[in-house]
A and B are shown apart, each in its own frame.
Chain A
Amino acid sequence: MTSENTPVSELGLHELTTWLRRCTELIDENAPHLTDLDAAIGDADHGANMQRGFDAVAGILDGEYEDVQALMKKVGMTLVSSVGGASGPLYGTFFLRFATSAKGADALDLHALFAALQAGVHGIEERGKSMIGQKTMLDAWVPALDAYQRAGETLQGAVLAGAAGAQEGRDATGPMEATKGRASYLGERSVGHIDPGAASTALLWEALADVVRPGGPTPDGEADADGEAAS
C-alpha cells in the first residue's frame, strides 16, 4: 500500500488497479490533445478510441481478481474489444503479454515488473511488426524500459526514470518520418508532429509514476509528464 513515507517496493493488485484508474483519468483529461496529435498525422480518433478503451477498463476494475495475471488479462481483452483502432490490438497485446509474464504472481517487484513490461513491449513489436525509430508508440516504450533498467535499485526510482524516458522518447518522435501505420501515407509530411501513440504511452508511464511517487501526483516539477510540454 502507498503511504506518505514508505516507498512502494512492489505492485500488488491494489497498486495495479490504482495505476489503471489513473491511466483512465489521464487519458480522459488528454483525449482532446491525443486527437489533435492524431488529426495532424492520422485519422483523428486516437483520443476518442483510447477514452472508449480505458473507460471500459475502468468498468472492470471493481471485479475480483485472483492474481496479477487474471487482472491484466482482463484489461488486455477489454482493450482489444473496445478501442477500435490500431491501439486496441497493440495495447491489448501489451497487457495480455504482461499478464502471461506475471503468471501466478500476487505482486511485482522491481525485476518482475521489468520482465512484465518487457514482455508487453515485445508483444507490441511483434504485433505491429515495427521497431524503434519508426515514429510509433515503441519510440516511447523502448526508451522508458532502457531508463527503467539503467536506474535499477528501487522500484520507485526505476519507474520515475522510466516515465522520464517515455516523455523524452515521445518528444523525440517529432522530427521522425513515419514508416508505419496511417501516418506513413504522409511520408515527409509526418515530420514535425509528435506521434499520438507515443503520447498515450507517456501518459501510461506518468500514471505509473503517480502510483509509486510518495504522496501521489505532484502538479509541478520533474513529475510533470503532461503532453503539453511537447508543444
Chain B
Amino acid sequence: MTGIVVVSHSRQLAEAAVDLARQMVRDGGPRIEIAAGVQDPETDQPGLGTDAAAISAAIEEADDGQGVVVLMDLGSAILSARTALEFTEPDIVERTRLSWAPLVEGLVGAVVTAASGADPAEVAAQAEVASEAKHQQLAD
C-alpha cells in the first residue's frame, strides 16, 4: 500500500489530522508516519517546527516498496520536505510524491485512495482534488 507521511509544524495538529483521516478506514488502511514539531533541548517539550532529517526517516519508514505520498502544512514544512529528499534513499525518492494538497482534506483523500491499493501518483492526485468536495458542498 502507498505509505503516507504527514509533515506539520505542530505534533498535535498532525496527530489530530491523522485521527480524523483514520476514521475513514477503520479496518486496515495505509501506513501513516508523522514528522512534526521539533524538540526543545532545554525543556524537552515538543515545539513548533519541522525537521528534514525526521521527515526523511518517516518516508523510509512509511515505504513498503510501493512508494510514499507526503502531505505538508505550510512554509518551512515544504522546504524541509524537499531537503529531506536530499538524504533519503534514491530508490525511495523515486517513488515518493510531495503533494500540494491542503493538509486535512488532502490527508483524508490520500488515506482513502491509498487504502484502495492505488499507486503514489494516484494517491497524490486524489489528495489534490479532495478540497473540491468542500467547494461543491458550499456551492450547493
Q: Does B76 contact A (CB under 8 A)?
A: yes
- With a cutoff of 8 Å between Cβ atoms, the chain B residues found around residue A49 in the complex are 49
Whether B53 pairs with A93 at a CB distance below 8 angstroms is: no
A-B contacts, 17 of them at CB < 8 A, read A45-B48, A80-B51, A80-B52, A81-B54, A82-B41, A84-B50, A84-B76, A85-B49, A85-B75, A86-B75, A86-B79, A88-B50, A88-B52, A88-B79, A89-B79, A89-B83, A182-B75
Contact B86 A83 (CB under 8 A): no
Whether A174 sits at the interface, judged by CB under 8 Å, is no
List residues of chain A with CB within 8 A of the CB of B79: 86, 88-90, 127-128
Q: Which of A85, A89, A93 has the most CB of B within 10 A?
A: A89
Shortest Cβ distance from A154 into chain B, in angstroms? 34
Interface of A is mostly: helix
A88-B41 in contact given A80-B51, A80-B53 (Cβ < 8 Å): no
| A85-101 interface code vs B (CB 8 A; 1 in, 0 out) | 11011101100100000
- When distances are taken between beta carbons in the complex, the residues of chain B under 8 Å from A92 are 52, 83
Alpha-carbon gap, A92 to B55, bound state (A)? 14
Q: In the complex the two chains form, is B53's CB within 8 Å of A77's CB?
A: yes
Q: Tell me how many residues of B have a C-beta within 8 Å of chain A.
A: 20
B52 x A85 contact (CB < 8 A): no
- A residues near B102, Cβ cutoff 8 Å: none
**Could you tell me which A residues sit within 8 Å of B by CB distance?**
45, 49, 52, 55-56, 77, 80-86, 88-90, 92-93, 96, 127-128, 181-182
Residues of B within 8 A of A96 (CB): 86
Instruction: Check: B129 CB closer than 8 A to any chain A CB.
Output: no
Do B83 and A80 touch (CB < 8 A)? yes
Q: Does B91 contact A (CB under 8 A)?
A: no
A52-B40, A55-B41 known; A88+B51 contact, CB < 8 A:
yes
Shortest CB–CB separation between residue A160 and chain B, in angstroms? 31
The distance in angstroms between the C-alpha atoms of A96 and B56, with both chains bound, is 15
B38 contacts chain A at the CB level, 8 A cutoff: yes
Which chain B residues numbered 34 to 88 have a C-beta less than 8 Å away from chain A? 38, 40-41, 47-54, 75-76, 79-80, 82-83, 86-87
* CB-based nearest B residue for A82: B38
- In the complex, what residues of B have CB within 8 A of residue A90's CB? 79
Bound CA–CA A127/B86 (angstroms) = 11
| Chain B residues, Cβ within 8 Å of A128 | 79
* B48 / chain A contacts, CB cutoff of 8 Å: 45, 84
